[in-house]
Structure 1
Amino acid sequence: MTSRRKFIQLSALGTSLLSSPQLLAGQVQQHKPIVLSTWNFGMAANVAAWKILSAGGRALDAVEAGAKVPEADPTEVTVGYGGLPDRDGHVTLDACIMDELGNCGSVICLEHVVHAVSVARAVMEKTPHVILAGEGALQFALANGFKKKNLLTPESEKAWKEWKKKSEYKPVINIENHDTIGIIALDANGNLSGACTTSGMAFKMHGRVGDSPIIGAGLYVDNEVGAATATGVGEEVVRIVGCHLVVELMRQGNSPEQACKLAVERILKKNPAKAKDVQVGFLALNKNGEYGAYCLQKGFTFARHDNSGNKLFDAKSNF
């Protein structure tokens, strides 16, 4: 005969088992994996990332794999190999990556290495630092097995030489000044990660750095809340520490889209006259797998891949 004490203990155990999210029907709780990427080239990036996520892989591995796709594509003139050079003819890459534990790595003004995002991950995992820049970043990359390559393709060199005839610096909205792929993901274990990589603005001053490799500006991940990435004119994003702002706005209860909208409005409020001539967009994902985007100018697109497939969306905008 079961004693009253044992009955209470068994009842409590049964209740805890039934309510445990790890033991529903004898299975670990399943999250819905999702990956989001900026711009049209995010579709191809998402395919690579989804191969990892759909197999139960880690979000960090997925975002790196996704970011490497446009980095290696010579036809994408704003990212990696084939990127348009600065005004001195140098193709310089900026990238960062951040995982669910708050670990992060970044490279700034990296030359001669295609996969800047992977160098950024190596900085995160193999050094006590967050950022390596210029010659130091290249030295580190070569010491860790990355191969040296001329990133200036004949097509990009031709475009640069044509630009030099007038040397006018007037980036075209949604073409020369979007310059980034940002990619954020939630994996089946409920963990978030993100990456961001770019060759920067076409024909920029040598040494110019935008928001893309700056943790908190071009990318931010908080595994308790969500993740955000940015695109567009990096100077405007840096001024408001944009992606950290978006994540904090989600922490306050705003939806991903509303958080992105409020960040865009912060930029607009600071400099309404200038904002009409530039593009800035934010893309966000929260811990529940809800996502959203918002931008200054019409034309910013983002790609989403989940169990329902891979799809391209137009972000809402102020103008």
Structure 2
Amino acid sequence: MGGRRKFIKHSFLSALAGVPLAAQAGSLELSRKKSPSGQRFTPQILSTWNHGMPANDKAWEVLNGGGTLLDAVEQGVMVTENDLSNLSVGLQGLPDREGIVTLDASIMKGDGSCGSVAFVRQVKHPISLARKVMEKTPHVMLVGEGARLFAAAEGMPMEEEKLSPKAREAYLRWKKNSKYQPIINIENHDTIGMVGIDENGAMAGSCTTSGLAYKMHGRVGDSPIIGAGLFVDEEVGAATATGLGEEVIRICGAFLIVELMRQGRTPQEACEEAVKRAVAKSKDLDNTQIGFLALNKEGDFGAYAIRPGFNFAQHHRQGKALIDSQSWFK
């Protein structure tokens, strides 16, 4: 799949060339370094995976251009929703076992305001629909046909329901055996989650995905569930998750990390404890990968995964980096 890495195997990315710092233009120096936390940056944007780099570029541009942090985390992940090469986010993503693409997304502010959508069809930008749920309805979550009708009523871009060429090719290969337990890899669980803090200490986050490839029709993962795939409390911090959603839901992963930070854990320590609990609760550890990403109100960050291979993108005033997370299994 064009240079994408297997989700549960060691791999590496090509070295990334540095570019000079130009703070007034909003450009940043690109570096590569190992996690974990220990350095604090405010403002700061973090997002999961290597596709987080262009997503962060857009979020940083919005923030530097006078947009709110909420605008930044929304527009940042929209880049990934639009990325036709990405088979796990957006309408071009891999379908369920019936050959239908359904999308999940959530967005949250540090004051507790939040919105999400799940099992949505045809909506080009589910993250924007999640924001509309937050801002224009008395609800937190809309699903299925109700969410699609709300999007249509709001005049949101809708697309004809058909598989992208790459997704169709992959689906037809899968149908030859039609195994309902797909291999867990980066193409299959490559959610983008983004969290950030601005110079005033406001925090926000977003999460969007096309979900588990070849899932049962109607399956919903952790990404649209507030407290599982995403949680933000600007009195404490923010966290997001990627990986096998069922395992994240079982431990309320993002909420757990924020609460651990509330109790005094660093973001790194909180992510490590969440992985420890996920490992203990896993129903199928051999086929499970989860990656957690966290940021606290001081601008300290952390990340941890069950297996090697998870990385995350970081942008701040001093530079930007694609960082390899540490993991439970070495």
TM over 0.5: yes
Please point out which of 254, 262, 268 is paired with 2:273.
Answer: 262
The answer to whether the aligner puts 1:225 opposite 2:246 as a matched pair is no
1:35 Cα deviation after fit: 0.3
Count of aligned positions: 288
1:54 Cα deviation after fit: 2.5
Identity, in percent, stands at 58
Q: Which residue of 1 aligns with 2:249?
A: 238
The answer to whether the aligner puts 1:207 opposite 2:179 as a matched pair is no
Q: Secondary structure at the match of 2:312?
A: strand
Please point out which of 85, 93, 113 is paired with 1:83.
Answer: 93
Mark the runs of 5 or more structure 2 residues left unpaired by the alignment: 1-40
Is the deviation greater in 163-172 or in 79-88? 163-172
How far apart in 2 are the matches of 1:178 and 1:290?
26
1:228-255 per-position Cα deviation (integer Å, ceiling 9, x unaligned)? 0000000000001010000000011111
The answer to whether the aligner puts 1:190 opposite 2:219 as a matched pair is no
Is the deviation greater in 175-184 or in 41-50? 175-184
Is the deviation greater in 302-311 or in 116-125? 302-311
Q: Which residue of 2 aligns with 1:24?
A: none
The answer to whether the aligner puts 1:116 opposite 2:123 as a matched pair is no
Higher Rg: 1
Q: Secondary structure at the match of 2:284?
A: helix
The answer to whether the aligner puts 1:300 opposite 2:310 as a matched pair is yes
The answer to whether the aligner puts 1:46 opposite 2:56 as a matched pair is yes
1:116-174 per-position Cα deviation (integer Å, ceiling 9, x unaligned)? 00000000000000000000000000100112203621221121111111011343343
Matches within 5 A, 1:98-109: 98-109=108-119
CA contact (8 A) 2:116 2:134 kept: yes
Q: TM (normalized to structure 2)?
A: 0.85
Matches within 5 A, 1:266-277: 266-271=277-282, 274-277=284-287
Q: Which residue of 2 aligns with 1:58?
A: 68
The answer to whether the aligner puts 1:252 opposite 2:269 as a matched pair is no
Once superposed, what is the RMSD of the aligned Cα atoms? 1.3
Q: Secondary structure at the match of 2:99?
A: coil
Q: TM (normalized to structure 1)?
A: 0.88
CA contact (8 A) 1:220 1:227 kept: yes
Q: Which residue of 2 aligns with 1:133?
A: 143
1:174-223 per-position Cα deviation (integer Å, ceiling 9, x unaligned)? 32442310000101211000000000011111000010000000000001
Q: Which residue of 1 aligns with 2:190?
A: 179
- Partner AA of 2:281 in structure 1: K
CA contact (8 A) 1:57 1:188 kept: no
Q: Secondary structure at the match of 1:276?
A: helix
1:80-129 per-position Cα deviation (integer Å, ceiling 9, x unaligned)? 03100001011100000001221100000111011000000000000000
CA contact (8 A) 1:94 1:107 kept: yes
- Partner AA of 2:153 in structure 1: A
1:309 Cα deviation after fit: 2.1
1:32 Cα deviation after fit: 2.1
Q: Which residue of 2 aligns with 1:310?
A: 320
- Partner AA of 1:187 in structure 2: D
- Partner AA of 2:230 in structure 1: L
Higher RCO, Cα 8 Å, sep 6+: 2
- Partner AA of 2:207 in structure 1: C
Q: Which residue of 1 aligns with 2:301?
A: 291
Q: Secondary structure at the match of 2:169?
A: helix
CA contact (8 A) 1:109 1:133 kept: yes
1:56 Cα deviation after fit: 4.5
CA contact (8 A) 1:302 1:314 kept: yes
How far apart in 2 are the matches of 1:257 and 1:32?
17
Q: Which aligned runs of 4 or more in structure 1 are off by greater than 4 angstroms?
A: none
Q: Which residue of 1 aligns with 2:79?
A: 69
- Partner AA of 2:234 in structure 1: N
CA contact (8 A) 1:32 1:187 kept: yes
- Partner AA of 2:257 in structure 1: V
How far apart in 2 are the matches of 1:293 and 1:178?
17
CA contact (8 A) 2:104 2:120 kept: yes
How far apart in 1 are the matches of 2:284 and 2:87?
25
